[in-house]
Structure 1
């Protein structure tokens, strides 16, 4: 895909420099992985800031750099290097938008199922994948223990990978003939926009307890992180909710999807 076309995928504040009519090789946030004609997205992380590595990315042949800080690299250097500088409000969202565009919105071509909750995500994804595989539906999986593209096992580094890695794996799943993908959706990934723009057909909630408060600080922040998944569902999708959990009503109060509940409570749609 040419850079000129790819730019239609991202909400840019400003584009400076030269937008070349070249096929983009990859979308990367790690400057060590930049190759000729890559687009480098300068993510501000907790340990380092990708804006510090813009020069490295340019030296390695990046065709464009994406920044939040317009002053991180001078426009004169961008012009001299004959590349584009794309200024955005949020580089993590831009990474998700560009990756979705580069891989041609692969999540929309899968029956994507996301599972979130403090406990039970990994078990639930493997059970669901096995059910789908046993009825003849080739299914990919993304999670804590491993990732699967059909029957191919791939090592997992994060419960929910970064958005460019996710979109690449979804693309590979489609190429491998997968109809479904099931994935663990961590609270961290929701806050950090790793799953931004993904087309979830079904999202499931298992439970929530006081966990990960080193990252979220308070239980309400943790709950609101989980809520992001359900707030983003379309009216054509399904939210499957554990009605026994006292936080479930807060989780779905702004959800537009069709809601299906399960639990021991008498008013559950499916009583277990």
Structure 2
């Protein structure tokens, strides 16, 4: 399901590059896929994603063990992110509502999310929009560890804290959609959205606080302890430059860095292959 969605994105948006790695160690990294967003002149941020789907009324795979004994996979994902870099752990949920009682509870949770995340433009009855929802892994950890075993993976608890995954790429100030003047502004807008959702693990009013701040002052919210990656990682370069660089992928087959899939979104004016080309 994840692969289908990502390759459909690629077919719809030719400036997105999608690559499936043949060798990876998901248990080591905790990531099903990575999303690299940026441009050569600005730098890159990274979303590290775990994908889970609904089973009945629960996301049962949230109980999946992590790298360490007695640990959960979401902890592995969080720990794989470099806290000094713009790396953000997120969960993407694939949803469906075959159970009538779940539909009722899901609608309540969606309505709560609409109020919490200022999503008034989305109708709660439009369940298709919530077919792929997303939330910060920090929130997943809080919800999973703050309930008894019976309820800790219950779908509506996570829906309330989730948004449709397209919302991660909408400016905090929705009135500025389509009015971003530069690559820097667009990248900063996406970065702020990711950091706002991450902050909601401890501050439910984070999105509202960003939204209510004048757009020209939003830079003050950027986490200055994190810096953008100046370049894409070697395994992305290797994937983009076969066959000469394939040895690099194989040499990292047991690396905790290599995900199952990677998607690269170029926000800059240059074609993607130009800024991924290796220089000697």
TM class, shorter-length: under 0.3
- By percentage of residues, which structure has more helix? 2
Structure 1 length normalisation: TM-score? 0.27
Structure 2 length normalisation: TM-score? 0.26
The structure, 1 or 2, with the larger RCO (C-alpha pairs under 8 Å, 6+ apart) is: 2
